[in-house]
A and B are shown apart, each in its own frame.
Chain A
Amino acid sequence: MGYDPENPMADRITDIGPPHYEQFFPPVVKKNYGKWLYHELIQPGVLMHKGESGDECYTVRVGAARLISIELIREICDVADKHCDGYVRWTTRNNVEFMVDSKAKVQPLLDDLKGRGNRFPVGGTGASVSNCVHTQGWIHCHTPATDASGVVKAVMDELFDYFVSHKLPAQVRVALACCLNMCGAVHASDIAILGVHRKPPMIDHDAITGLCELPLAISACPLGAVKPATVKNSAGEDIKSVKVNADRCMFCGNCYTMCPAMPLADPDGDGIAILVGGKVSNSRKAPMFSKLVIPFLPNTPPRWPETVAAVKNILETYAKDARKYERVGEWAARIGWEKFFEKTGIPFTIKSVDDYRLAYDTWRTTTQFKFTSHIK
């Protein structure tokens, strides 16, 4: 038995879908499914859910990198086997959750986790900076404008104290996407770290004929900057290719997605933009998009000090100034964005003034504003 390369379709199984979730529920979860009464955070990183039955489920949440090895997963399994009847789950923000059915089992679990070096920081609940969700970056992606795991490690090291405590006005969601495709959508995050390109694509005329369908490359451009052109390749032959009107390029990289002969990544051109004030929850204010406040910071591996400092400055200015329950975007909207720039000390530049589609929605069409230091 087993796979037979001579006969690949033999006894093939397809379309069976994922295993049913219920078999992975800890007994206390299975018993109280749909019958939970309320919850409490008994300390940062530890949740208690009370069932109508009187049962209690204690959850210890630990931060983890998104990029993890099977060795680490096996260690997580060891912890689950020892303390949690062999059950464990992951959150949507790459945290690991260990669940136990009594308070007495919490401290031994916490002690065990603490004894394993810095691999299992407990936190990420309540008014904290929870784990930073992110994309692949240089570890695996072909279109990134920055790394992901490295930047996130540097940022989370600096914000660590806010991960393991409940001292912010509200939860702060930090997210990173390593290019504008945003396969990890960061457009509704309190603080978004976004990889951006700043140089138009180069065109590999020697490769484009075999690699790309020119009409797709041309139509990929949202601003019509990519046009058909007849050019000479390095063998001196006339070939059908494309040209790029650099004045119209918005550096989105969509042409490269469609046509591998149009690379735009560049060590100096690429870097990071910071967007703030997005949220997903419908709580109080409706969901909001993140807004661009820093158009560019350079890529400075291994620890991206400019990006780390920018994120920390925004977070701490907000932490000092916002009211209880206010998310970053609610705070900025209440004080006004002119005050946001003044209080954070972030220089306001014309790059924060929208000139893309639907731009008018963001222009101020009232005489109501605040006199901040921006007005001389």
Chain B
Amino acid sequence: MPKHDTPLLDELEKGPWPSFVTDLKRQAEKKPECFDILGQLELSFRDKITHWKHGGIVGVFGYGGGIVGRYSDVPDRFPGVAHFHTVRLNQPSSKFYSSAKLRDICNLWEKYGSGMTNMHGSTGDLVLLGTTTPNLEPLFYELTHDLNQDLGGSGSNLRTPECCLGRARCEWGCYDTQDLCHTLTMHYQDEIHRPAFPYKFKFKFSGCPNDCVAAIARSDFAVIGTWRDDIRIDQAAVKGYIKGDFIPNAGAHSGKDWGKFDIKKEVLDLCPTECMWMEGDTLKIDNSECTRCMHCINVMPRALRPGLKQGATICVGAKAPILDGAQFATMTIPFLEVKKNEDGEYAEVVEVIEKIWDWWMEVGKNRERVGETIMRVGLPTFLKVMEVTPLPQHIKEPRSNPYVFWQEDEVEGGFERDIKEFRKRNAQ
């Protein structure tokens, strides 16, 4: 495959940020189909439009997802990308790798693909970008036999679950995000590989309310770490911050002179519930008023830590705007102790998930995310499905209209009445 002139893309080799164009050119020396990637992209830059055809169903035997078909609409000009299918590999929890594992993946992709990847896709998969239909089965064979790896999800199924790095390298992981993510991924292999849902369903696991994997914005089932006892305080370290021995916010503001650290201005006054105050040089927190937003802990990580009675809040139904508008996940279960049973399963989490699925698979419409189903039927109905006691924590404020859907058995005497009897007392 010949090299194409790419005057527009060449402009993207300038500047301090790493250039994907330079990278593609380097790769093209070994994988000449990359010249055709560059060529077709240059054409898109000139035409201001994509040159990929719509869809294309390809896959490996027995799986309904994990590979996304893609074909060029100018294959004669760029035969190297005539087929350009995507292979989604399920990433290890929180994306730690050994160089040996990565080199194996690179060798496999040098053999069967374009050499280009996404590290990583938006849902978390390690994405191998660009291969042909005949390569799919051999690739899958070597992937499973030699690399001990598997495909991730695509289509109307459980998408590849994703988690923050949690307890591996963060002091705020309120439950074991990686273990929960991995355990559920293994538990639900069938749901990941064989689409049987109304639409996609995403799990995301964050260890604390900072929510580094955006679970509350992006997942149908968001498990976000929290605690229900008191924030741990090291008063000596609080004094250290006040004295200036420690840099506030872990040094996140080191590039600008914001003045001397002021605990009142930077911590107490920014607390959304105003539940903190100083008594002399001792920090006090009324933990019963705390909503565990993390701000004070973020600012003084050496002095404050989440409490010890840890678990997670479960929120359900986030999605991007298509179609009815964006939704954050709705707080459904305020606190669940995320613990593994003797049989190695997270039975309580599984029970919550399957309550959602059993209901959604029955009432969800085609291509309706669970958040949209909840919007359609109403949160009260969903809470009944979940067998969750309605709590003031489920709402920001009570409804401001009086249109309650009373059930017949809630009303004395039921709905059946006799109009003739009524008219005897109340004439028309």
Q: Report which A residues bind B (CB closer than 8 A).
A: 2-3, 5, 8-9, 11-21, 23-26, 29, 33-34, 36-44, 49, 57, 59, 63-74, 76-78, 80-81, 86-92, 94, 96, 99, 118-121, 125-127, 133, 135-144, 147, 149-150, 153-154, 156-157, 160, 163, 165-168, 171, 177, 180-188, 216, 220, 222, 252, 254, 256, 260, 263, 265-268, 270, 278, 280-285, 287, 289, 299, 301-303, 324-325, 356-358
Contact call A157/B167, Cβ cutoff below 8 A: no
Q: Known contacts being A15-B193, A67-B118, A358-B325, is A87 close to B298, with CB within 8 Å?
A: no
Residue of A nearest to B365 (CB): A219
Binds A, one of B20-28, B380-388, B409-417: B20-28
Quick one: which of B218-258 are within 8 Å of A by CB? 218, 224, 247, 249-256, 258
Residues of chain B within 8 A (CB-CB) of A70 are: 27, 105-106, 109-110, 115-117
B251/A21 in contact, CB under 8 A: no
Known: A153-B12, A270-B49. A18 touches B185 (CB 8 A): yes
- CB contact under 8 A between A301 and B45, given known A160-B15, A187-B217: yes
- Chain B residues contacting A287 (CB-CB under 8 Å) are 211, 216-217, 328
B320 sits at the interface (CB 8 A): yes
A150 touches B12 (CB 8 A): yes
A68: B residues at CB distance < 8 A: 20, 23, 116-119
**How far is B105's CA from A132's CA once the two chains are assembled, in angstroms?**
25
Asked whether B321 is an interface residue with its Cβ less than 8 Å from the other chain, the reply is yes
Find out whether the CB atom of A14 lies under 8 angstroms from the CB atom of B320: no
Q: Which of B15, B44, B210 contacts A147 (CB 8 A)?
A: B44
Query: Taking CB as reference atom, which chain B residue is nearest A30?
Result: B168
Is A267 in contact with B99, judged by CB distance below 8 angstroms? no
Q: Which B residue's beta carbon lies closest to that of A326?
A: B270
Does B41 interact with chain A (Cβ within 8 Å)? yes
B65 at the interface (CB under 8 A from A): no
Decide if A89 touches B95 in the complex (CB within 8 Å): yes
Tell whether, in the assembled complex, residue B50 and residue A141 are in contact, meaning their CB atoms are under 8 Å apart: yes
Bound state CA distance, A33 and B167, in angstroms?
Answer: 6
Supply 23 A–B pairs (Cβ within 8 Å), ascending by A: A3-B142, A12-B141, A16-B150, A17-B150, A18-B90, A19-B148, A21-B94, A21-B96, A37-B171, A42-B251, A57-B169, A72-B26, A73-B117, A81-B99, A90-B95, A92-B214, A121-B17, A160-B16, A184-B122, A185-B319, A252-B323, A282-B209, A325-B266
The residue that B266 contacts in the complex, of A12, A92, A324, with Cβ under 8 A, is A324
Chain A residues with CB under 8 Å of B119's CB are 64, 66, 68, 73, 90, 94, 96
Given contacts A68-B23, A94-B119, A284-B270, contact A252 B322 (CB under 8 A): yes
* B residues 33-88 touching A (CB-CB < 8 Å): 34, 37, 41, 44-55, 61-63, 70, 84, 86
| Distance from B182 Cβ to chain A, minimum over Cβ atoms (Å) | 6
Map CB proximity to A onto B323-362 as digits: 1 under 8 Å, 0 otherwise: 1111010000000000000000000000000000000000
A154 touches B101 (CB 8 A): no
A19 to B251, CA, bound (A): 35
Q: B residues engaging A (CB < 8 A)?
A: 8-9, 11-12, 14-21, 23-24, 26-27, 30, 34, 37, 41, 44-55, 61-63, 70, 84, 86, 89-103, 105-106, 109-110, 115-120, 122, 124, 129-130, 137-138, 141-142, 144-145, 148-150, 162, 164-165, 167-171, 173, 176, 178, 182, 185-186, 189-190, 193, 209-214, 216-218, 224, 247, 249-256, 258, 266, 270, 272, 292-295, 298-299, 301-302, 319-326, 328, 366-367
Partner of A280, one of B148, B167, B214, B320: B214
B239 CB, nearest partner CB in chain A, Å: 16
State the CA gap A273–B71 with chains docked (Å): 28
- Cβ B49 vs Cβ A166 within 8 A: no
Residues of B within 8 A of A16 (CB): 144, 148-150, 189
A34 touches B253 (CB 8 A): no
User: Which of A89, A281, A324 is B94 in contact with, Cβ under 8 Å?
Assistant: A89
Q: Given the interface contacts A65-B20, A142-B53, does A39 sit within 8 Å of B171 by beta carbon?
A: yes
Nearest chain B CB to A313's CB is how many angstroms away?
19
- State the CA gap A107–B272 with chains docked (Å): 40
- Within the complex, which residue of A18, A142, A267, A268 is in contact with B91, where a contact is CB–CB below 8 Å? A18
A-B interface, 4 closest residue pairs, ranked by CB to CB distance from nearest: A126-B252, A157-B15, A167-B255, A260-B54
Residues on B with beta carbons closer than 8 Å to the beta carbon of A285: 272
CA distance A281 to B215 in the complex (A): 10
Closest residue of A by beta carbon distance from B298: A283
